[in-house]
Amino acid sequence: MRFFSDNAAAVCPQVLDALARVNVVDTAYDGDQWSQSLDARFSELFETQVRALWVPTGTAANSLALAAMCPPYGGVICHAMAHINVDECGAPGFYTHGATLLAGEGEGAKLTPQAIADAVRHIRPDVHQVQPHAVSITNATEYGLSYTPSEVGAIGELARSHGWGLHMDGARFANAVAHLGCAPADVTWRAGVDALSFGFVKNGGMSAEALIFFKTELAEATLMRRKRAGLLFSKGRYLAAQLLAMLDGDLWLANARAANAGARLLAEAAPERLVYPVEANEVFIRLSADEAASLRALGFDFYDWGVGEARLVISWDQSEDAIRPLAEAIARLC
Chain contacts with a second copy (rule: CB under 8 A):
2, 5, 7-11, 16, 19-20, 23-28, 55-64, 71-73, 75, 86-91, 93-100, 122, 127-131, 201-202, 206-207, 221, 223-235, 238-239
Residue 101 vs 137, nearer CB to a second copy: 101
The separation between CA 104 and the C-alpha centre of its own chain, rounded to angstroms, equals 18
* Least distance CB 206 / a second copy (angstroms): 5
Residue 181 vs 230, nearer CB to a second copy: 230
DSSP class of residue 303?
E
Which of 93, 251, 66 has its CA nearest to residue 169? 66
Residue 66 vs 137, nearer CB to a second copy: 66
* Least distance CB 197 / a second copy (angstroms): 11
From CA 213, how far away is CA 49, in angstroms rounded? 9
* Least distance CB 293 / a second copy (angstroms): 21
Residue 100 vs 146, nearer CB to a second copy: 100
Residue 8 vs 293, nearer CB to a second copy: 8
* Least distance CB 233 / a second copy (angstroms): 6
Cα-Cα-Cα-Cα torsion 183, 218, 161, 106, nearest 10 degrees, comes to: 60
* Least distance CB 224 / a second copy (angstroms): 4
Q: What is the CA radius of gyration of the chain?
A: 20
- According to DSSP, the β-strands at 303-304 and 282-286 are unpaired
From CA 102, how far away is CA 14, in angstroms rounded? 40
- Number of CB atoms found within 10 A of residue 126's CB: 7
* Least distance CB 266 / a second copy (angstroms): 18
User: Are 2 and 262 contacting, i.e. CB atoms less than 8 angstroms apart?
Assistant: no
* Least distance CB 151 / a second copy (angstroms): 27
* Least distance CB 282 / a second copy (angstroms): 15
Which of 132, 18, 130 has its CA nearest to residue 66? 132
Alpha-helical regions (H) of the chain: 13-21, 33-36, 38-46, 58-69, 83-86, 91-95, 113-120, 149-162, 173-180, 219-228, 237-247, 251-269, 289-297, 320-333
Beta-carbon contacts of residue 221 (< 8 Å; ≥ 6 apart): 68
Residue 56 vs 277, nearer CB to a second copy: 56
Residue 224 vs 331, nearer CB to a second copy: 224
Residue 16 vs 289, nearer CB to a second copy: 16
- Opening angle at CA 208, ends 204 and 213, nearest 5: 115
